[in-house]
Amino acid sequence: MVKKILAILLAFVYSVSYIVLGPMIKTQVISFDSSKILPFIVCFLLCSITNLVLFSVIPRCTFDVKKECFIHKVDKFSERKLCIWVWGFIFVSWLPAYCVFYPGILSYDMVSQVGSAMGEITNNHHPVLHTWLIRVFMNLGNNLFSSYEFGIGLLSLLQLLMVSYSLARLVALLKKHKVPTLIVLITALFSSIWFMNACLTMTMIKDTLFSAFFVLFACHFAEIVINPYEYSRQKRNLILLPIVGFFMCAFRNNGLHIYLFCFAGLLILRIKQIKNIKKYIALIAVILLPIFAFKIYSGPVFEAWNIEQGEVREALSVPIQQLQRVAVQNGIELNSEQTELMDYYIDNLMWRSWEPGRKYEPFIADPAKSCFFSGRYNEDPIAFWKFYLQIGEQFTKQYIVAFLSNSLGFWYPGYDSFSYVEYENYPSEWFVVPLERMSIGNLAFMDKYYESVCRDAFWREIPAIRLFFLPGFTPWILVYALILSWRKKKYFTMNFPLFLPHIAQIGIMMLSPTASFRYSWPFYLILPLAFIGIWGNRELNEVEEKDTVMCPENVNDACKN
């Protein structure tokens, strides 16, 4: 009954977003169009029927196959053997992309990062560790072969190894927790053939190595959720978790927020069931270790190297965008004090090559952020937030519209302006040292293939397939996964925590400066973990009530003694 109610409710919310609210925000015409009534009704009915079928059928699917089938032979593989085979399979599958894009796709932030790498790393606007790696590999290539491209090619190879390994580790985890073998193999196959994976892995951006460590962190976190006692008994885990956690935080500035959110959420969801904390002293210590290590790295280490933290405006995309909208749309309604403060925090003159005056772009916060005075915020953050809340109370509607506009591509599947991956490198002359594409071998067919799939939008127009090419589907996929994994017994203490990394990633996406696909890519990479909640072994979703929450039933008798 609960699933039926959720199916209808979800259909209603999705229909409102897709038929009414999304187009309204996209056109910036904030008024109801009566012509949307019929499409809304049709969409609602179709979604309701689809949801009812999906929520009834999918959890019951066992994916049984004939015993003589190849799939049953895979069941005999150990987790380690499966991981190695899948790792090799994905890695080899991506080698054509490596040859085509060699030494890498040099776009996005690569221009500024190469400038820092070849000069002086002065701030953490782009993660210092990633910029430092670019420096090390470029210098290595130049010193050994008089070619900066060779060094970047080695870094691309490292990215290829790390991302393919993290996905292989995830596939092995699915098998460990009794996800049907057919689903496990489909996950491995899709990971290898989904061209977004190969292209973004070959792209020189901080998101690539972050994504690899994010997937590894999500795997460790899932094992802690399912059986922390067994997890903490393996010394290898106690060594790997701090390493994975630290690098996840170091390769993207909001990695620490994801880490803290996941473990804080797990603690809150299980606080009432923790009865014997002594068993988990070692686990608690290694969970806290990456936090302290990162704070030392970003504190005393940065100070010793004269590296400044990134400007605070990079974390304030949403508030700045909201204020900018009010300044542009309702400037004449502000009193003299509010106008003075608005000008104090946001430049009212020209920025770079943008048009003179405040320029409000509803779907990307970069112009607004670039006009924000971070130094004035740092002088008195409390004063800024008081001003921000005061304006929000007066112009609540504009704040809501600004947020929905900036995050439009992350919840409205009809918006695809930033849902692409780069194919071309930036012009060589843009870099402080000339960098060019030097494809390996004569792979004209593969080159044409990648050019086509990267530049053509037809993938985003095919029903069902478009789910994996539009960031606007991510929150809906998460909601479906949560409902499909519904367990009447202990759902919020066992199944729901598995999705905390997914929820954290979507939260970070919603606060991003724009709805770029590369921001949603990490979410797609860890999405298969939802299969554990939907089809995984039921015994792994039960908790022994008479002992700590950390001991699943029938797993290890030593837990109960």
- The residues spanned by each domain of the chain are 2-60
Q: How confident is the model at residue 455 (pLDDT cuts 50, 70, 90)?
A: confident
CB-based contact 244:217 (threshold 8 Å): yes
Query: 301 CB contacts (<8 Å, ≥6 apart)?
Result: none
Closest CA to 344 of 384, 300, 310: 384
Output the CA angle 15-16-17, nearest 5 degrees.
90
Classify residue 60 by burial, with Cβ atoms within 10 Å: 0-12, 13-18, 19+. Answer: exposed
Q: Is the pLDDT of residue 275 over 80?
A: no
pLDDT tens readout for residues 227-251: 998 999 999 999 999 999 999 999 9
CA 442 to chain centre: 35
Q: How many residues does the chain have?
A: 561
Sequential DSSP letters for 116-155: HHHS---BSSS-HHHHHHHHHHHHHHHHHHS-HHHHHHHH
pLDDT band at 255 (very low <50, low <70, confident <90, very high): very high
- Identify the helix (H) or strand (E) that includes residue 21: none
The predicted pLDDT at position 53 comes to: 93
Taking alpha carbons only, the member of 379, 382, 402, 381 closest to residue 327 is 402
Torsion of CA 170, 176, 180, 181, to 10 degrees: 80
Cα–Cα distance, 262 to 268 (Å, whole number): 10
**Cβ distance 431 to 109 under 8 Å?**
no
pLDDT recorded at residue 529: 95
CA quadruple 308, 312, 317, 323: dihedral, nearest 10: -140
Residue 514 and residue 505: Cα distance in Å, rounded? 14
Would you call 537 helix, strand, or coil by DSSP? coil
Q: Which amino acid is at 251?
A: F
Whether 463 and 113 have beta carbons less than 8 Å apart is answered as no
Please determine, for residue 34, whether its predicted confidence score (pLDDT) is greater than 80: yes
Q: Find where tokens 């988990």 sit.
A: 280
Residue type, 2: V
Q: Amino acid identity of 492?
A: F
Task: Name the band, by pLDDT with cuts 50, 70 and 90, for residue 131.
Answer: very high
Q: What's the mean pLDDT in 126-135?
A: 95
Is 502 in a helix, a strand, or coil?
A: helix
Q: What is the pLDDT of residue 538?
A: 52
Residues 178-229 have pLDDT tens digits of: 898 889 999 999 999 999 999 999 999 999 999 999 999 999 999 999 999 8
- Contact at 8 Å (CB) between 228 and 287? no
Which residue type sits at 187? T
Instruction: Compute, in degrees rounded to 10, the torsion defined by CA atoms 267, 272, 273, 278.
Output: 70
pLDDT over 70 (residue 550) = no
Overall average pLDDT of the 311-333 stretch: 91
- DSSP letter at 427 equals P
Please state, in angstroms and rounded to a whole number, the distance separating the CA atoms of residues 177 and 231.
13
Q: What does the alpha-carbon distance between residue 368 and residue 354 come to, in Å, rounded to a whole number?
A: 11
Which range, 249-263, 265-279, 344-358, is most confident?
A: 249-263
User: Is pLDDT at 517 greater than 50 in this prediction?
Assistant: yes
For residues 360 and 377, give the distance between their C-alpha atoms in angstroms, rounded to a whole number.
20
Average pLDDT over residues 368-396: 93
Give the C-alpha separation, 48 to 54, whole Å: 10
Q: Say whether pLDDT at 539 is over 70.
A: no
In this structure, are residues 479 and 503 in contact, taking their beta carbons and an 8 Å threshold?
Answer: no
Average model confidence (pLDDT) across the chain:
89
How far does Cα 74 stand from its chain's mean position?
30
Establish how many alpha carbons lie within 13 A of residue 210's alpha carbon, considering only the half-sphere containing its beta carbon. 29
The DSSP result for 343-378, as a single string, is HHHB--S--TTSPSS----TTB-HHHHHTB-HHHHH
For residue 486, is it left (φ>0), alpha (ψ between -120 and 50) or beta? beta
Give the mean pLDDT of 430-455: 90
Nearest C-alpha neighbor of 310 from the set 511, 117, 124: 124
Cα–Cα distance list, 357 to 328, 343, 360, 367, 377 (Å):
9, 11, 10, 11, 21
Q: With a cut of 70, say whether residue 521 has pLDDT above it.
A: yes
| Alpha carbons 236 and 249: distance in angstroms, whole number | 20
What is the predicted pLDDT for the residue at 547?
Answer: 39
Res. 14: pLDDT tops 70: yes
Q: CA-CA distances (angstroms) from residue 403 to 504, 505, 513?
A: 18, 17, 10
The answer to whether 159 and 209 are in contact (CB under 8 A) is yes
Instruction: Identify the weakest region by mean pLDDT among 31-45, 337-351, 415-429.
Output: 337-351
- Which carries the bigger pLDDT value, residue 301 or residue 72? 301
pLDDT at residue 552 is higher than 60? no
Residues contacting residue 510 through CB under 8 Å, at least 6 positions apart: 318, 407, 410
Residue of higher predicted confidence among 461 and 275? 461
- pLDDT grade for 324, boundaries at 50, 70 and 90: very high
142-163 confidence digits (pLDDT tens): 999 999 999 999 999 999 999 9
For residue 252, the Cα-to-chain-centroid distance in whole angstroms is 11
Give the 3-state secondary structure of residue 512.
Answer: coil
Among 357-371, 406-420, 491-505, which stretch is predicted with the lowest mean pLDDT? 357-371
The pLDDT value recorded for residue 546 is 38
pLDDT band at 356 (very low <50, low <70, confident <90, very high): low
Average pLDDT over every residue of 294-310? 93
User: What Å distances lie between residue 5 and 10, 20, 148, 478, CA to CA?
Assistant: 8, 22, 59, 17
State yes or no: pLDDT of 543 exceeds 70: no
Confidence at 67, pLDDT banded by 50, 70, 90: low
